[in-house]
Amino acid sequence: MSTTAHRPARETSRWEAQRSFDELGRPLRDLTFCVVDLETTGGSAQGGSMITEIGAVKVRGGEVLGEFQTLVNPHTEIPAFIAVLTGITNSMVHDAPPIESALPAFLEFAAGCVLVAHNAPFDVGFLQHFAREQGRPWPRFEVLDTAKLARRVITRDDAPNCKLSTLAKVFEAATTPNHRALSDAQATVDVLHGLMERLGGLGVHTLEELQTFSSRVSTAQRRKRHLAEGLPHAPGVYLFRDDRSRVLYIGTSRDLRTRVRTYFTASETRSRMGEMVGIATSVTGIECATPLEAEVRELRLIAEHKPRYNRRSRFPEKVHFLKLTREAWPRLSLVRKVLDDDADYLGPFSSKKTAEKCLAALHETFPVRQCSGRLPVVPSRSACVLAEMGRCLSPCDGSTDESTYGAVVRQLRDTLLRSPHQVVDAINERMTALADRERFEEAGVHRDRLATFVRAAARTQRLSALTRCGEIVAARREDDGRWAVHVVRHGRLAAAGVIPPGSDAHQYVRELSASAETVAGAPGPVPAATAEESEKILRWLESPGVRLVDVDGEWTCPLGGAARHLAIYDAAHQSRLSLVPFDEQRLPSPVHRPVR
């Protein structure tokens, strides 16, 4: 572990309870910031992931006061997947201090500072987790997230996204991020200073102004607070409409009236919402029995109206599937719909590019034919280039028999439906071999393909398990003590209700089930609803406290399925990307302007 201090750091005093009006706000130039970055073995400390490196830079007034860097012995194997990403290997951390020594040293270094990180919930969450494990009190740090701040400041004209690597180029950072903790922290320092410089021109000079920037509300917005007055304090969906009753934006809340009021106060920070509120002339509320029903109704209404201010869920029909065909010589095909043709499907994929990555991972492992069109039982074509490269069994020229080809197809089908280990093992071997030869870019391509496949397979297996069930009735005691009941048929929410106090619970559930929507089964992993709706239902069914009242069918997932591989690949994805959430992408201007 190493700490480099250019000069002793002056601890910033706590914010005094009383100050004169002239002193309100702490000037940014007087504050000490500790910019931190972590490298880890995975994406969830609660799930067992460990810290492998801590890097931090302490700055004040644009001057670097000190740097902190240490590798950390995770006392567990670093997955090859992560080693390819970060370059940190097991041998590098073998003699490094454990987290029990590294964390106290870092907390001493950061004492009295404002913590800064790019995607702060990830880094700070890990540090807080290990502080709790050690019984160590967590200091009362104030935290700034440069990713969140950038989403409020950077426009589409500036950069296509708010990844650290992208922002480092925008602000011409002296250090290029490379997934090593200190280098990434150094790059984040330059990004922080770039954001502060840009905001300084907009009158942001204190920490308080920085924390609340883009929550400034125009007078025109405040005057529209009356639009929320007729809404109930109940869960449901709200629809903002313009003067021609066109739906501008759809959202959901556990308390309709309270949530809609935030659009006319400083609680709403999304810049595009300022423009939307300026156009809106009315708000319609649809009360729902439960929060889950509200979330499902929101998805269905967004798909129906396609409001221009909603960024996600507008086009659920634009999906792709991978299909393992049923024919004499089966192949993998990229399709847009699931048909009742007894074929096996993987998906849905939100984009063709993602589906093609998954397809490449499967073709890398299984040498099934990649040519289009059907082949006769006894083909008489010439071999293609893939056959000459040994990547296709080449049934077209008789190089393989039906039995050998069928065995490979059965393995492929088992991979899609039950166990992905053949793909995982094959690509991990390929990736390790490439990394050993320092061909890291090629290894990264295979890493991305494998991660895409694992996520797709896990999603398909979970959705298929739910949609196979003709009916699932489940209940959960909510925070208010009442029991919420949901009827799910083939993955679609068919009914929702809350058992009235003092009533016969069994009778209520029977009546709710009898009055539920009729849902016909269909082929494929998401036959009766969109994948997003079925996944919301799954999250509720798998949440603590849910009790299954009745299940028509078998709700099971394969024991050796893809879900067990998810944690590591999702962790690498999280560490590589600081994505802009779909509901927080930016319009060209980040500053609210009054509507004339």
Contact 587, 270 (CB under 8 A): no
Q: Which of 6, 118, 179, 421 is catalytic?
A: 179
CA distance 515 to 574: 43
* Dist. CA 531–CA 349, nearest whole Å: 10
Q: In the block, which residue shows the tokens 């798998």?
A: 542
DSSP state for residue 39 in the 8-state scheme: E
Note if the bond before 590 is cis, omega within 30 degrees: no
Q: What are phi and psi of 120, to 5 degrees?
A: -60, -35
Q: Which residues lie closer than 8 Å to 15 by C-beta, 6 or more apart?
A: 26
d(CA 283, CA 539): 29
12, HSE (Cβ side, Cα atoms, 13 Å): 26
Instruction: Quote the CA–CA distance of 88 and 41 in Å, as a whole number.
Output: 10
Token couple for 10: 């002056």
Q: Which residue has the tokens 């063709």?
A: 352
Residue 94 annotated as catalytic: no
- Residues contacting residue 161 through CB under 8 Å, at least 6 positions apart: 579, 580
Under DSSP, is residue 269 helix (H, G, I), strand (E, B) or coil? coil
For residues 217 and 401, give the distance between their C-alpha atoms in angstroms, rounded to a whole number: 71
Among 150, 219, 182, CA closest to 67: 182
- Beta carbons of 357 and 449 less than 8 angstroms apart: yes
Measured at the CA of 349, the angle between CA 119 and CA 473, to 5 degrees, comes to 90
Q: Which two tokens stand for residue 480?
A: 């208010």
In sequence order, what are the beta bridge partners of 322?
A: 334, 346
Question: Which residues are tagged catalytic?
Answer: 179
